[in-house]
Amino acid sequence: MLTPQIPGVDLIRPIGKGAYGEVWIGRNPVNNRLIAVKLIRLTSKTGESCASRELSALRREASHRNRNPHLVDILHVGQTAQYLYYFMELADAVDEQAPSSTPAYQPLTLAVLLHQKQIPTSDCLRIGTQLLEGLSALHQSGLTHRDVKPSNCLFVDGHLKLADYGLLAHSDSSSSIIGTPKYMPPDQKMDPQADVYAAGLVIYEMLTGMPAEEFPSWPRQRLKEIQSPTGLAMNQVMLKACERDPSKRYPNATEMLSAIRSHLDPKPESNFSRRHGLLWGLTLLLIIAALAIISLGSSRTVKVAVNFITRPFEAEIYLDGKRLMTANDEPYRTPCTVLGIPAVPMRVVFKKSGLDDLDIGTVDFNYQRAVEVEFP
């Protein structure tokens, strides 16, 4: 195979290929820096239209005001008689070391990381937050990515960067139905809420280690992760991001990012608040001690968080004959995570309009923290 001739770079070898373009590893002969080079052929009508679309997307990316460390930097764009090309940052190697020009080098993406190992919950939070920070910068600039998925999430110096702007569009335009099907929302409206839906599925894949097609199933071996504050917060945000009804999703990545932070970040306290908090804390300890003496010998019911999943979705949940209701006095509907379930045996019934009630009998929530069933 002949190596293409591109001004300003010595191409070494291809490291990725898509429907219309290739990504090569290259070296800048001036500063000896390794870079990634994407090439799109112009030698066919299909190639020309793809290159035209990609060039338009690159112009949109260049114009956006919110530069962000979690978006891949486009270093240079050019064109020859045969190719549209552009230079980008080169991803870390799959062994999470610095990139190199050796034949063993392959770029580290989130797709590769998911294939390599189960990602700890704390890392899911860090990576998911970085993804949403990059996506939020696009949304705040009036742009929609339209192809959020693990293979478009690169790691550069250990930090996630969202890449591939080929489908980037203005958020207020009537975007065509284009993207990766399994990460597209059911309504197929490719707007910022479509990016939110896809980001939710990416977080699902990190938390569970399962492919997006399995959403919202939760593997039993990962149930303990959901009981941690981090796992619980991310699961709640992920479920809302992946709502089938777009009116129930976050409107954009900025709101989704704020939701994760509001679940996890403690509010700063003033010195005045801290002093009064200590006084109230001491008072509360005395009250608790007194109550403990009074109620010595009585048992305390532990409360847990439980995932309820049905197929089809949108079923209401009844425990011991009582319908589960949210704080807003609306019924919980599957899939959902419900906090404060007593860790005791309870009879579980699911009800969905048009279907016979599904009575699954008694579930002991002291041992089981997820209920997943399918209506006959």
pLDDT at 297: 42
pLDDT at 65: 58
pLDDT at 272: 44
Q: What is the pLDDT of residues 87-117, one digit of tens each?
A: 999 999 998 788 888 888 999 999 999 999 8
∠ Cα 298 343 359 (to 5°): 130
Q: Give the domain 303-374 fold.
A: Immunoglobulin-like (2.60.40)
Tell me how far the alpha carbon of residue 107 is from its chain's centroid: 20
Please report the DSSP string for 188-208 in residue order: ---SHHHHHHHHHHHHHHHHH
pLDDT at 269: 44
In the predicted model, residues of the chain with pLDDT beneath 70 are: 1, 18-20, 44-49, 64-66, 173-176, 265-300
User: Quick one: which H or E segment has residue 237?
Assistant: helix 229-241
pLDDT at 296: 43
pLDDT at 303: 84
pLDDT at 109: 96
Half-sphere exposure of residue 29: CA atoms within 13 angstroms, side-chain side: 7
- Give CA–CA dist 330/328, Å, rounded: 6
pLDDT at 369: 79
Q: Where are the domains of the chain?
A: 10-262, 303-374
Q: Give the domain 10-262 fold.
A: Transferase(Phosphotransferase); domain 1 (1.10.510)
Single pTM value for the model: 0.75
pLDDT at 265: 63
- Give CA–CA dist 325/327, Å, rounded: 7
Report, in angstroms and rounded to the nearest whole number, the Rg of the chain calculated over CA atoms. 25
- Give CA–CA dist 284/267, Å, rounded: 21
pLDDT at 232: 85
